[in-house]
Structure 1
Amino acid sequence: MEPASPTLFQQLITQRGWRDPDVFLRRYQEAARELAALEGPRNLATATIERRQFVRWARGEIKGQPRKEARRILAHLFRPVGVDRLFVPPGAASPAAGRRHGGEPALGCKEYDGDDMAEDVVMAAANESADFAVKVDGSNVGPATLDQLEADIRRMMLTYPHRPVGPLFTEVRRLRNRAFELIEGRQPPHHTVDLYLAAGTLCGVLANASFDLGRYEAADTQARTAFLCGEAAGHNGLRAWVRGLQALIAYWDGRPQDAVRLADAGAHFVPERGTAAIRLAAIKARAHGQLRQTTDALAALLTADRLRDRPRSEDDLPGGMMAFPLEKQLFYVSSAHLWLGGGQNLAEAERAAAEAVRGFEAAAPGQRRLGEMSLARLDLATARLGRGDLEGAAVQVHEVMVVNSRRGTESVRKRLAQFARRLAGHPGARSPMAVGLQAALAAHQEGFFLELPPGDAA
């Protein structure tokens, strides 16, 4: 008798390094607490499972589906994968997922297939309604169309930092195409300006997503289009933000001089309001740090601080991923000091990174900026490793690997690789803790992959 095919649950816990019962139970209990805080009831926060139950799941010995409470927690832990798909081989149709009572196909039987990253059925239905609203407006663009477009953009801005990048890419691309189509129609000039701003913002999101997926060339192309839309709209906030993104791409691509140049170019556009100018100064500081230009790096950090202290209105861009909160500025401070090196800079990097992590953790679980929090943790781990605190560094790195297995980005992958190289050259590299951490990092990097949407990423 041939062995049964592994279930999707078995594959996922292997990819994420959760095959150890204690590790999985800890993640399960964390998911239960998050779910209790987000949706309730409160007593869900204490939910757990028996070790033997996990062993049965891990061996593929489950019959049917887990109980209702466990299904909710598993759905939250493995989102966006549906629970009905967890305990069958990948690609197989689950009887529970395939049919409801009476034989009617279940909601989302096809749409929740994580292999093709299609939009889920709920968002597909919402988009169909939005398309209909465009026709009801009676003209190419009307108030209802613009209101819906703005609402969709704001939702994406708010959810981007904690959603897997691949599936979101498809949704943003569709909305950008809708904005392009509307621009090509006929509408009053003031609506054309609004549409250019919307299209530029969406191209900016796609640029950021392409960057997170490690596609720097595609990211540059998207950013150039976003900037042109900002020019057409006459919007300094968008132009400054896009120049900042281009500078950030250059920084991560190992071109710090280009990053400084692009940050300076962005500074010529004084944003109507918001944090784009602070972000530009902070990016410039990191680039000068990478160039080991201490005076310029510290001057840029001071500029960012002065800009933060000025009274200002909230972002006129949609906020969310395009905002530059204090905790993000703090981890840019830590990165700049790590590049500069030396005992004093190391201490300052550790202080700023620790404060940044606390700031990110203070957000509600469903609103945390996961990629940025991971980068701040890696700054903190690097600073602690530099002063010999291997245990403190390991705690942060393990947290990063858990998050990156669920929402991977190229920047975090690069930083993990940098940390691994530092660890290999550390005086304590042969200690049991260091050897174990190196093995965990190697396994994580070997299993790491970035989900790309079908078709051209540009």
Structure 2
Amino acid sequence: MDEGQRTVLFMLATSRGIRQYRAFKAEYTRVAQQLQDEGHEVAPSPAARHYERLLRFGGVKRGPHAPTARVLEHLFQRPIRDLLCLAPEMPELEPEHSTQAPSPPVLDESELLMTARDAASHAGEAAALHLDEMTLDQLHDDLVQLARRYGYTAPAEVYQGATSLLRTAQALLERTRSPEQHTRLYYAAGQASALLAAVSFDLGALTPAVSFARSSAQYGKTIGNGPLQSYAYGMMAFMAFWDGRPSEAVRLAKNAQQFGGLGDTARRRLYAIEARAHGHLRNDDQAQRAIRDAWEQNSGQRDELHDDIGGEFGFDDARTAMSNATTCLLLRDAQSAEDAATKALTLLSSLAASEQPIVVSGPAAIDLARARLMRSEVEGAQEALVPVFRVPPNWRSSGMMERLTAARIELTRPEFQGAPAALALAEQIEDFSAFSPARRLGATNPLAIEA
């Protein structure tokens, strides 16, 4: 502890030989029992962590409650407000000035042994506040599994799992003093917050989604983890254009690209998000440039979050193609949108049905349908939407719903007026959308895919 941060309590406890928590607790308990025998209300000794805060000026926001303060005041014979003051502010604690050099302290073996015992006691307490590495390994494994199964797990299940893991990481942070373990736990908390940001968005809850993304970025900043901060900033960029702020989305996406330690996957994801933002701005040249940049990330560089953990943190070719299809729709380029959506679905078709992430396959199929509607191909759009209409209600994310809304708007064009096939498809979209989690939560976000 910096000498300038010590409280009067620190100085008095040190002078009494009870600076270490074990000695302090024993003396506190003795005095508390004495006061209790006299009929006074007292409280048990402060916990070790609280005691350390009392020794540091500003370590507590408010003084102890009366039963605790009563014991401390009796033990040190000073009001509690004085005990929590900065030591230099109490002149009577400062050594008297003298023109003579102070005499060197006289030490004996018993004092040396007492100091040695205090050091051993403190070291033992520190060692006790060290988590079993298997506990951290299990937390890491659980987060990896949740991230990798995100694409084919119902959003409500992801939310429950990520919430549990975030609370576990936060609780474990209070049980260790190891800097290395703190780094691992902050990283875990950042991952859990990032997954909560993604699933909150999928559930149509934009406000908590932004809050979780900011928390994830802060956790990443605390431990200097560039990929985690980059992912969080990318999420905030994504949410910004969804919320009708595409210029802010471009700024956030560019900022996200500046963090260190990013691999190709991270950069591909950020360029795809930037392209979408430019698409909302109807900036064709910049959008096309970002699309090209996304595909050109092939340096071989990797990072743990986006590549080794992957899953929801990953951004493979299928997801890149799906995102680019959406950008092309924003630019009203039906042919390029159909080509990109078809590429995404073709890449996904090589996977087993149980391994195809609905968060990618669903939007890609809807984008393909909308591209066909732009060319007045109602039957082709209906064909593309067949697998989408099979998606159970709990899996119908806000991204899918907004894309379907945009497709529904395409069906209002004059050439579709009165066409039975167009009317039937419009009704089918409306019935399907009515039972999504986002609609049940009352989501009223602006359209992500503008008509």
User: 2:329 maps to what in 1?
Assistant: 338
Q: What's 2:381 paired with? A: 393
In structure 1, what is the Cα distance between the partners aligned to 2:172 and 2:412?
54
* Per-residue Cα deviation, 1:71-108 (whole angstroms, up to 9, x for no partner): xxxxxxxxxxxxxxxxxxxxxxxxxxxxxxxxxxxxxx
Report the alpha carbon displacement of residue 404 of structure 1 after superposing the two structures with TM.
5.2
- 1:180-195 equivalences under 5 Å are 180-195=170-185
Aligned equivalent of 1:303: 293
**Identity in percent:** 29
Among 311, 320, 324, which residue is 2:315 paired with? 324
Aligned to 2:159: 169
Write the deviation string for residues 18-43 of structure 1: whole angstroms up to 9, x where unpaired: xxxxxxxxxxxxxxxxxxxxxxxxxx
- Superposed, 1:208-287 pairs within 5 Å as 208-273=198-263, 275-287=265-277
Asked if structure 2 preserves the Cα contact closer than 8 Å seen for 1:158 and 1:367, the reply is no
| 1:446 shift after superposition | 2.6
User: Which structure: larger Rg?
Assistant: 2
Could you tell me which of 444, 450, 454 is aligned with 2:432? 444
Task: Read off the aligned partner of 1:175 and give its amino acid letter.
Answer: L
Match of 1:409 in 2: 397
Q: Residues 196 and 283 of structure 1: is their aligned pair in 2 closer, same or farther, counting only changes over 3 Å?
A: same
Structure 1 residues 348 and 450: CA distance shift in structure 2, 3 A:
closer
Separation in structure 1 between the aligned mates of residue 130 and residue 351 of structure 2, nearest angstrom: 40
The residue type paired with residue 232 of structure 2 is: V
8 Å CA contact retained: 2:150, 2:158: yes
Cα deviation 1:269-327 (Å, max 9, x = unaligned): 133435111111110001101110111111111211221x2223364452111100111
* Contact preservation (8 Å) 1:140, 1:182: no
Determine helix, strand or coil for the equivalent of 2:263: coil
Partner of 1:369: 357
Partner residue of 2:340 out of 349, 352, 365: 352
SS at match of 2:300: coil
1: CA distance, partners of 2:256 / 2:156: 28
Residue in 2 that maps onto 1:68: none
The secondary structure found in structure 2 opposite 1:424 is coil
The verdict on how the C-alpha distance between 1:367 and 1:138 changes in structure 2, with shifts beyond 3 A counting, is farther
- Is 1:312 matched up with 2:297? no
Larger deviation, residues 251-260 vs 319-328: 251-260
Moved more, 316-325 or 376-385: 316-325
RMSD: 2.0
TM-score (norm: length of structure 2): 0.66
Q: Is the 8 A contact 1:165 1:209 kept in 2?
A: yes
Asked if 1:160 is matched to 2:154, the reply is: no
- The verdict on how the C-alpha distance between 1:138 and 1:191 changes in structure 2, with shifts beyond 3 A counting, is same
Q: 2:281 aligns with which of 280, 285, 291?
A: 291
- 2:110 maps to what in 1? none
- Give the paired residue count: 313
What is the aligned partner in structure 2 of residue 122 from structure 1? none
Task: In structure 2, give the amino acid aligned to 1:339.
Answer: L
Q: Which amino acid aligns with 1:210?
A: S
- Supply the distance in 1 between the matched residues of 2:191 and 2:178 (Cα, whole angstroms): 20
Distance 1:177 1:452 in 2: 26
Contact 2:156 2:394 in 1 (8 A): no
**Aligned CA distance change for structure 1 residues 380 and 451 (closer, same or farther; 3 Å):** closer
* Contact 1:244-1:283 within 8 A present in 2 as well: yes
Instruction: Work out the CA distance in 2 between the residues paired with 1:366 and 1:392.
Output: 25
Q: Structure 1: how far apart are the matches of 2:438 and 2:375?
A: 33
Distance 2:279 2:290 in 1: 10
Per the alignment, in what secondary structure is the counterpart of residue 386 of structure 2? helix
TM-score between both structures, scaled by the size of structure 1: 0.65
String of CA shifts for 1:152-184, please: whole Å, max 9, x gaps: 011101111111111221121011101011122
Q: 1:41 aligns to what?
A: none
Aligned to 1:149: 139
Q: Name the CA distance, whole Å, in 1 between partners of 2:435 and 2:220.
A: 39
Deviating more after overlay: 411-420 vs 389-398: 389-398
| TM-fit CA distance, 1:451 | 9.3
Give, in whole Å, the separation in 1 of the partners of 2:429 and 2:173: 47
Contact persistence 2:264–2:299 (CA under 8 A)? no
Residue type at the aligned position of 2:252: L
Tell me: CA distance 1:426–1:384, structure 2 relative to 1, closer, same or farther (3 Å): farther
How far is 1:332 from its partner? 1.5
SS at match of 1:427: helix
Aligned-pair distance for 1:264? Answer: 1.0
